Structure 1
Amino acid sequence: MNLLAYDQTKYIYRDIRRPTFAGSTGEYHPNTVVRITLGQKQVNADYNPVDGKFTWTLDEDLPDGVYNLSIIVIDAAGNVGPATLRTLVIDTTPPEAPELINLKDDVGAKTGSFDPGQLTDDAKPTLTGVAQPNTVVYLRNAAGNDIGSAKTDAVTGKWVIEPNNDLQQGENVLTLVAIEEFGKDANGAPIYREGKVSDSFIINVGMADFVTIVDALDDVGKWSGVLNNGALTDDTTPTLRGQANEGATVIVYYRKAGESTWAGSATATVNGPNWSWTPSPALAAGQYEFQAATPKVSSALFNLDIFAAGSGDQQTKITEVWDDFGTTIGKLNSGDFTDDMSPRFTGRAESNSRVVIQYTLNGSQNSVTVDVGHDGKWSWTPSVDLLAGDWNFQVKSEDAADWNDSFDLHIYPSPSVPTTITQVFDDVGVTGPVGNNGITDDSTPTLSGRSEAGRFVLIYDGSTLLGSTQTSSNGDWSFTPTALGDGRHNFWAVQRDYSGVSNKWQIEIDTSGLGPDKPSITGLFEHQASGAYDKFANGGIIDDGSVKVEGTGRALSVINIYDGTTLIGSTTAGTDGKWSYLHDSNYSSGFHSITAREVKSAGVSDPSNEARFTLVGTGKSGEGYYADSFHDDPVIITGSRSFSSGYTFRSLNGGTLKLVEGTLYSKNQAIVKKEPGYLKFLDDGDNTAKSVTFEIAASTDFYMAVNGLSDSGWARLAYYSTTGKYLGSSDFGSKVGASIEGVIKQSGFVAPQGELIGKVTVTVKDKGGMGIASVIYGVSSYPTGKGDAYFTTIPDGPVYSSGNGLEGFAVLTGVAYQENGKMRLSPDDIFSFTVGKTTDIQFSLEGYVGVTFYDVYNNVIHSGSYSSFVNYTAPAGQLIYRVAIDTYGQTNILIDNVIWGNNPVNPDYGYDSNSANIAAHDDSKVELNGLVESQAIIDLQDGESTTKVITVEDLLTYGEEGLFTEADAKQLMIQGDKNDVIQLNDIMPEGGDIEQWTHQKGTITVAGVKYEVYSHNGENAELLVQSDVKVEII
């Protein structure tokens, strides 16, 4: 490729670390120099002055990344030509395999997420996952054919695929692969590179187990045919029909409606996917429920109303009349007024029959015949508006001699100004308006309203005409009745020609002056982050101290509010008797008992009903629910509580976690006081994957401990940046301890350098449920400093898991238990902790362990084996962030007296107290004598080149049996750097055979470090040499 042929800055893509650059000046130029600058590196390319061509190949590997490239030509006179600028992209890594997160079925009766391998009736399910951003993800079948694709999101890497065509019935073995565009060829066409193929997964397409009752068949009497659910029939042996999976055995159950046990059952006749069943003997008259079932599933209930022979005419009814016109719409009762000139009538009759409806006005009769549906229902709406007047409607079966049901309506059109009641006024005692459904002590309240000007308005109390009044020239009217009795009154008004029926206004008159015996509390409402108040149940647990109390009482009465026996405020009921109270300050944490009393002339009324709630957390309005270690005593006492989107929790190191998606439930260890409570995924037995998402303050790291996750379940953490970019995931694959709820497992993640975690999604699939025990994050941002943590004064009992600890000392993974003033480490897995970033750390130790020191980006700084005491200083320019301890499965490992930031020894190369006695060696050879630790370890990790001679006598003398692996051989371990050399001298005892010594294939890992193994079969001994160390036989 002629690099100088471009006329502008362009990209050059390479998938090798040492690319070759070539081009031509285009002319014969003797003594010309082609100078190439790549980043900070500058070279003169090989140049042929005859043809003007040049070439240069990098002499060292370039890491993946983007580089600036400049090419200039300098002629013999030293003149510099214009620079040719290129952007070099080195990308040697194809995309990782796409990750499948979810499968979704949106076809059929059962929809939602499902797992690979499960049966689905959706032949084109929706697949969702993540992959490398700006790639195209392809879905492939077992033959390797692409059957669907989608481009990933440029930031998050999310993709969604639906197969192009229906998947085949049965098992479909599928894979996913991401393909990226990797530069362009000489013609400008894109070059594509395929990434790793995912593990195969199965989508099993088939008909889910089902059984349904479709309908029934009436073949008796004049009116026969199909019967739908709810039908009315005279057939006492109706044939039920339905569908089920082919070959399934279908049992039909039946019982009278309202009964709890089935009266009988029988096996249906199955023909392919269809089945049928006819009762034998005949069923007695009554309302029946039927249900079909196979060994796996049951149908919905199917209802039939079977009436006795000869009683069909009596079944014909008007069940509802509906007004859907004007300002007042809704159901009408017989005798009502309506402005709907064509109201809708519905009713019941024998299924598949016909009914006759007769409607009469002033003796003039009309009739219409209406068909009854398969479900026994009929409906009729006049095709033209009816005339104004007082109508009577009757209905009967088509062949019946007598009418079976009747309905009256006063139908009048609305006037130009509707008739309304606008106010009821009390002018006795405490005066003022009386709201709808209010209470008054005035037996002659004044009603007022509006209607057409100059019209007479009739005032009714229920069906009783109280009197009439005439509207003024502007349409106002008022009316005061004669004294009314105590009790409920239902006022309404209508013009004298019965047009324009008003709204209804109900009040209660109580002239005793006492009003109700006591007010009533009708609801408690908790403040939400949105500013709204949501109702909660009496006796509930809440986390916001702003609570509104609502109730009812006498209109305009003063209501005192009490918390226990303490008066905390008062409010006034409205004209409708309703009142509400919002305390002017937040309630305190704890239990509260709220009652209300009406203020009377002689004191206060009896207390209302009691409204109770328990406030947990801070109680500060708008802050949500905070819980250290997700533990709170009131929750332990009163039981579980649900938390949905909007709740905020606090991690042990003070960070906040805001729940933005999903629901969690509180769960507490009431019987094991040393264990904290936790947030639990609800176990509803459906064994489907459930997820919640937390927003956190931007952080470089995140750790979570969970409990109760079964071996057959799984859980995963997915991490996203503050902008939603997918950063990676981690699993809960390792056991780190145990609690009363089951094993404790831990997972964590450190963001790639330059990225910050802003959101974490927890996904779990476990039929038994899983609990979040503790969380810690952002500890890598702790300031560098000094400190100590002594466990001597802490009483026995506390359990320390991810997020727990003392000031400055925090557990990241694993579990420790307070015991005799020290921390006993769980033997189940790696225990790790942090003290923030520090130059050095030391702690006392009982037992023999492997210890690895990491920086904030999870890079290993140093690893070694220790007993009694650990004291390590990081090399200059590096800081220790995490310390991991491998107990090798031992149960008796104790640590104490953790001190950091106080011992900066040997800052140039790092310092380890275990190897202090080899510091005075020279650069040639170091003899073994005096250098072996008590635990059969030689540590040469000092940053310098060391050559060490080891004999078979050393191996047999200093080795210990089965110390590092489960082998029963004597073992000696050598730890060192890549510049160190181990020389095996006289490795065979006298008379030995060299063939008895074997360099074993592969490596073994101890405390996270890989070792080569050299074994001697005759002497049953093994030498473990760290993989970076060179081994020579001399």
Structure 2
Amino acid sequence: MIKTTSSLRDILGAASNTYSSEYLQSLDIVRGAELTPTVTPAEPGVVNIDTATDNTGSQQGNITNGGLTDDLTPTIGGHIDSAEGLAIRIFINTQYAGTAVVGANGDWSFTPGQPLEINHEYIFQTVIKDPGGDSLLISLPYTIYTVPTDYDVVIDRPVIDAATDNAGTIVGEVYFGGASDDTTPTFHGSADANAVVRIYDGATLLGSVQANGSGAWSFTPLTPLSGDGTHNITVRASLGNSGQEATSDTFEYILDTRGPGSLAITGAYDDVGSVTGNVPDGGVTDDKLLKLSGTAEADSIVTIHLSVNGGEYSANYMTIADSNGYWTLTMGSNPYPSTQGTMVFTATATDAVGNTSTSASYTVNLVGSNEDNPSVPDAPTIAVYYDDVGPVQGYSVSGGTTDDNTPTLNGLAAAGGVVKIYEGGMLLGSTLVENNGGWRFTPSALGNGSHVFTATVTDTVGHTSAQSGAFVINVYTADTTAPDAPVISNYYDDVGATQGYDGNGGTTDDTTPTLNGLAEANSVVRVYEGGTLLGSTIANSSGGWSFTPSTLGGGIHTFTATATDAAGNISAHSGDFAINVQASAPCVSGEFTETFNDAAAAAFCEGGVFHLEHFDISVNSSGTPCSTVRPGICNGAMVLSKDASVTLNMDHPLSWISFEVSHLVTKGEIIAAYLDENGKVLHQDVYGNVGGTTMSYVATGGEHIASVQLTAVAPMIQWWEDPSPKYIIVDNITGHYASDCSGDTFSAAAFSQMLTEDSHTIELTDGMQDKLQLTLNDILSEAHPNLFVGDGNQQLAITGDKGDVVELKVEDLSHNEWQDVGQVVTGGIQYEIYQHAASSVELLVQHGVELHQVA
């Protein structure tokens, strides 16, 4: 609370012009008790306080008379013409506070020596002695109010610009007085930078938000606005520690969440044929393009939906209700091709804010031209048909299935009339209606399939009814034709290093290969090996089928298949399809040396292939024209001429290879490229000396050498040398097979040698049944986060052959420390994911490799 006090003039006495002696002494203006000068109000501009200045806080500058300040030592000042050197006595709340001296330019200023107190009223006045007399000139009061720091900040009125509608079908900005169906719109506007903005719905506080550095703010209520109608939204802004706040103008937001009312279809006008006028709900018309009318909320959008025969055909039409809420619409088109059916209309109205409502349905029965005339007979009905063929006979209704291709139709119509029966647009025949209204008709023999019948009746005076509803009979006579023999097209191998599709006569290490083929659609395919039925499967709607047998033993297996159709007819057997199953390939170990001493002489011609005991030689380029002797195999060696290129394809992968090279001339070179099973170049060497040498390469990191490409590079001779052809001789090729034909048990000590180059995968793949023994610490030492699955866990992967075993040492077998949490495919390899229960580490094990937990 601000404390107030009296002015100096009040204390001196409103009715007195003179100072008392003690006040004169306190003013320190005169020294003699006998002098009692008169007190004269100051003339404007003579001795008045002109300014007060705030020099602290965020709100600085001029303090108006009667204004607020958080500056407890504000500076006051003024101007007196021609009064240089004149002493001005300053009083604060009638207490002498100090003296200011008028400067040469007439300006003077004063700052209190002692800080003022907070939350007080302070009246500043000045007193001077009139230089021309004995009067004391006293200024008018200049009042300021002290407040806490920044409580003098002036707050600008905040503004609500608009509300954003984020709900329903119609969204966007809603301005003052606008309507919306959004109960939680986003209000936005402007205020002082960083001001705290409180949002009110009437007197209810909805919440608060802080304006950004530019003063922009937005707010979405957490609690929906309550009740349709006008909501008076205001915002109040405050800044810093200021006790002040400013309130915006009221923003009117109209909430409308109710669907448009008064929606109804009230009429359908028929202007076609001999009978015209309004067609009531449930009435009959021959007008396919009716004029509809009804009521809705004023200015709402009205959409009419037409459904014919329960949705068999449909259409939508649109119009707008007028300002009185009435609407009319003439159908511009009708998708229904027939002249008979049930048309059901419904109306949907959408108001300005997107609320919708739906009317009750309005049904009109469409008939043929002028058949809405009461004199026209009603359409006949087809009630049942009678089947008198086969083991199942009797009456059935529409949609039934029969083996009788001449079923008898039965129905009702106007007595004495003639009923005509149609299939599609074709007249099948007619029959006379009996006196009791019953009729029956038997068509000529029908083909297999679905048949749709309708009927009309013509009365005795020639009036013809509309068509009846459709009546369906499914005719399927006995099928005695066997389907064509199926075909076994290929098989699929998903085991081992070589996987994929292969054809008749192929060799596989997959003991459960999947057979694939073609047969009659939806037939049952039975697969045989010899005379033994292995199983069956069902061909899909396109005739494709697949079948996976139980585990097959090694050797050649010959399969056939038959197809059985829905009628039970069985086809002949397919052609034989043979698969050579080699469940485990023979193991090859040790090393070999090819000396060419036992090889027959042969010339290298491009495209040629030569089979030796341990590898094949494929000729990529023969170099100089091929002859019967050289280049090629002769004299116990392999001979390459200029620009010749050959590939040595090993019968089994090698871990290392070496061979002797001789007869390289000056500047002649031989390039040796070493490739793996996928054709990737593992290493490449270039040799170019004239003497003999041995070329060799040792595969590392679990890689194997599958082939070696040798290329003789020009020039092979110099111009001064003998121009006759020169050759490179390759001899004594020695290779070491990658397998040692025995399964190994690896412990953690072999870890670093088994890791791939990226140190992310342990590779056991060597064609043998290996065992790897690991602990949690072994895995943690090499695991890295998110290597294969982005879940934040440490991960390591193990690949190997089917049947390889990984043993994980655990503390307690009963607690199942490593848990199978799913599968993942990465890098073309399917892994099982095992997660440690007590740490964020995952071990990925290739599908087919077994994982055992051991104590």
Q: Report the TM range for the smaller structure's normalisation.
A: under 0.3
Higher-RCO chain (CA-CA 8 Å, sequence separation at least 6): 2
Q: TM-score, normalised by structure 1?
A: 0.20
Tell which structure's C-alpha radius of gyration is larger: 2
Q: TM-score, normalised by structure 2?
A: 0.24
